[in-house]
Structure 1
Amino acid sequence: MLRKLLLLAPLLLPLAAHPAAAQMESREGIALQNQILQLRQELDQVRRSGGGGGAYPAPVPVAPPGRGGAPAGSPELMSQLLDRISQLEDETRRLRGQAQETEYRNRTLQQAVEKLQGDMDYRLQQLEQGGAARPAAPAAAPRQRSEADPAPAAPAAPAAAAAATPRTAERALADGQAALGRRDYGAAEGAAREVIATRNSARAQDAQILLGDALLGKRDFQNAALAYDDAYRRNRSASRAPEAMLGLANSFLGFGAKREACATLNDLRSEFPRLSGNMASRAAESRKRGGCG
């Protein structure tokens, strides 16, 4: 047991020799650092005593006493030290898991904030465009009040009403798909966000997929991934759910997250095993680009 302990000692010494490199600022980290330093002192004491393990010669005839009156090289002390090593390893794993979880939450929050900022910018832009269009309406008023030529004022009202009437969700989605076909990604994004803003639940998934396609075309891969993920979660059994999952995988590939892309493509294969035609070809191509097995 002593030989096993002494073999583990070089792994613990660098941690104790460079406490500043770890930058432990939490109470758990400071307590763990103190325990490692204390364990190092005990390991040095065991090494000086010779330990009776046969790996190192004993430089002194009498082993120094350990804590609690037990000899430093006794089996009882060895068992205590090994137990403490196991506890420190568990504590280290726990702290590492907390750090990774915090990092993931921060990344998710940042993506959500970026998405919210994009939505607000779009809505402000729409309000500014609407405000710029309103002053043009009073220009027709003098012609309507003119007694000399009242006739031209008649067709102006239906034209203004038609311009003020918002597009239906179906019309906006059709215009967005047309813009996507001619690679006008800004117009496609605007049409998608217009439908999303109306909270039309029947076409929300279509709008989210259109938004993902537009953002993917603009190479805004992270926000495209959020749009595709929203589309998939709205209706996981819908006919367009595989398309949303494939878009999510392609977005992951766009910013280099190949492991997440392959995991999404594996889920696509397991949830929709009967893909065919263009969708199956696109999925196979994505697996090849991601190097998925």
Structure 2
Amino acid sequence: MRLGAWVLSGTLLLAPLGVQASETLADIRQDMSVLFVELQKLKRELSTTGPSTVALPAGALDRINAIEAELQRLTAKTEELDFRVGQVAEDGARRLGDLEFRLCELEADCDLGSLGRVPTLGGEAETSAPVAQPVPQTPGTELAVGEETDFRRAGEALAQGDFQSAADQFATFRQTYPGGPLEAQALVAEGRALEGLGNLRDAARRYLDAYAGYPDDAAGPEALWRLGAALGDLGNVAEACVTLSEVAGRYPGSTAIAEAEAQKARFGCQ
């Protein structure tokens, strides 16, 4: 009978919702819209226009109404989550853009007009002019010939406290292997060398470039807490506290959280 077919159809439609964990919010919302339409059809099948000899199971309409109410609740929830994800992405982009602007203000030769809009986190950039994006690190990418050797040599100079040589070598490394798999680590290491030379402004710029360009790289947590510490040492304590507080939320479980908390205590962050 038609009623049995509708019930079977509804059951089959509901089943995938629990297993398709990789679907986006938009996909889930679309599935819910389809289910809602099917429920409306099913309710019309259950609504009689006159006497009928068909006996419906007790409470069938109540159960369908309950399913409909739950679908409406889940639809509202996905809309709320979609909005919150968008807000978090936009807020993160605004914070990164503000940090870049403030760092530029600290540099005597920095052109504020040359700064592009920071891309929305997890989305595309909303810019009036194209913003150059670094090539993301790909797990398993092979290093170029001599790349690992050059990186290790620069790292040894940093470990030995030869900050000028380390800064020069890491800068040359990034020019020689632009966008390579060690780019983020080279930026952080160059920043550390610049800090050793007392050049906090350029060090903060390297940390920002490492975090903004490669937030998911293994060097991301260190880049973020060192950026916060550099901002604080440059006198921007409020911005430093905000940046350091982002470490725990952005990289839960990271060892960088302890470093960030230590820096927050040093600056008296609330």
Output the TM-score relative to the length of structure 2: 0.46
**Could you say which structure has the higher helix fraction?**
1
**Larger relative contact order (Cα-Cα within 8 Å, sequence gap ≥ 6):** 2
Give the structure with higher Rg (CA): 1
Output the TM-score relative to the length of structure 1: 0.43
